[in-house]
């Protein structure tokens, strides 16, 4: 585990672009273990695009990215996005197991029960996911946060994780984000809502082309 306040992720002079169109240039950040950074900016500045670049889903054409002082990003960050990655033909429990398997975790039945109870889906384990509402489906993707630790996924990239959540669930989410950071993880996240647990802000509006 990385010691708190040690640089975990850095990027320098990064260009955020959609296709061939640059949205922001010169974006620079140091994200240390223990950091929760709220990524903000006007619509169209490329917040989701930046997260996708760091997740390896879009190329980084200009700028340098480093992890723990070395060039590149050799780890697979946890990326939670609007594109949920839920298979409608699988049950709730099967979908959560699949999402955790991607990070080398084989959860027990008790793990699944606890994680689903945490997001308010207790009793839904064997229900086919195509019977869920959009908000319930999103909670499956968030349930994995209950079981993932910095030892498994030290870097979380979260795109609007509070969307469609009630006040109580947002509070539980913020408690979990704080626990993860206190244990040595780092988080870069977007949210249209205030993020009370954030201790850092990156405003892409400052880097618009």
pLDDT of residue 1 exceeding 80: no
Statement to judge: residues 128 and 61 lie in one domain:
no
Mean pLDDT check: name the lowest of 4-13, 28-37, 45-54.
4-13
Range list of H helices, the chain: 47-54, 92-101, 109-118, 134-143, 167-182
Domain-located, residue 171: no
Q: Quick one: pLDDT at residue 181?
A: 97
Q: Which residue has the higher pLDDT, 187 or 3?
A: 187
Query: Each residue of 98-119: pLDDT tens digit?
Result: 999 999 999 999 999 999 999 9
Edge-first strand order for the sheet with 36-40 is 78-80, 155-159, 186-190, 36-40, 200-203
Query: Each residue of 130-187: pLDDT tens digit?
Result: 999 888 998 999 999 999 999 999 999 999 999 888 999 999 999 999 999 999 999 9
Statement to judge: residues 94 and 105 lie in one domain:
yes
Q: Quick one: pLDDT at residue 12?
A: 95
Statement to judge: residues 83 and 145 lie in one domain:
yes
Domain-located, residue 205: yes
Query: Each residue of 44-101: pLDDT tens digit?
Result: 999 999 999 999 999 998 999 999 888 888 888 999 987 678 998 999 999 999 999 9
Statement to judge: residues 36 and 6 lie in one domain:
yes
Q: Examine the fold and report which residue of 108, 127, 152 is the final residue of a domain before the chain moves on.
A: 152
Domain-located, residue 172: no
Statement to judge: residues 42 and 13 lie in one domain:
yes
CA 59 to CA 82: how far, in whole Å? 19
Q: Quick one: pLDDT at residue 75?
A: 84
The total domain count for the chain is 2
Domain-located, residue 40: yes
Statement to judge: residues 121 and 56 lie in one domain:
no
Statement to judge: residues 52 and 111 lie in one domain:
no
Statement to judge: residues 32 and 90 lie in one domain:
no
- φ/ψ of 66, rounded to 5, equals -135, 155
* pLDDT tier, 2 (very low <50, low <70, confident <90, very high otherwise): low
Domain-located, residue 6: yes
Angle at the Cα of 3 from the Cα atoms of 159 and 67, rounded to 5 degrees: 55
CA 24 to CA 22: how far, in whole Å? 6
Statement to judge: residues 71 and 1 lie in one domain:
yes
Reference 62, options 14, 20, 12; nearest CA is 14
Domain span holding position 197: 1-75+156-164+185-209
Q: Which residue has the higher pLDDT, 82 or 16?
A: 16
CA 138 to CA 197: how far, in whole Å? 21
Query: What's the CATH code of the domain at 92?
Result: 3.40.50.300
Domain-located, residue 138: yes
Statement to judge: residues 2 and 62 lie in one domain:
yes
Statement to judge: residues 67 and 160 lie in one domain:
yes
Statement to judge: residues 128 and 145 lie in one domain:
yes
């Amino acid at each position: 585990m990385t010691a708190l306040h040690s640089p975990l992720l850095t990027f320098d002079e990064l260009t955020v672009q959609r296709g061939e169109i640059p949205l922001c240039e010169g974006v620079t950040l140091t994200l240390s273990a223990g950091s929760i950074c709220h990524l903000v900016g006007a619509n169209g500045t490329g917040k989701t695009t930046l997260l996708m670049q760091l997740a390896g889903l879009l190329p980084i054409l200009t700028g340098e990215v480093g992890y723990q002082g070395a060039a590149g990003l050799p780890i697979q960050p946890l990326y939670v996005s609007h594109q949920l990655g839920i298979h409608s033909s699988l049950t709730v429990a099967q979908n959560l197991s699949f999402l955790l398997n991607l990070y080398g975790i084989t959860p027990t039945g008790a793990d699944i029960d606890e994680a689903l109870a945490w997001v308010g889906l207790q009793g839904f384990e064997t229900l086919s996911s195509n019977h869920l509402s959009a908000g319930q489906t999103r909670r499956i993707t968030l349930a994995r946060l209950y079981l993932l630790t910095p030892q498994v996924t030290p870097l979380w990239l979260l795109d609007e994780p509070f969307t469609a959540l009630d006040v109580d669930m947002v509070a539980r989410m913020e408690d979990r984000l704080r626990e993860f950071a206190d244990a040595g993880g780092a988080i870069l996240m977007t949210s249209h809502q205030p993020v009370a647990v954030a201790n850092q802000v990156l405003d892409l509006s400052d880097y618009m082309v």
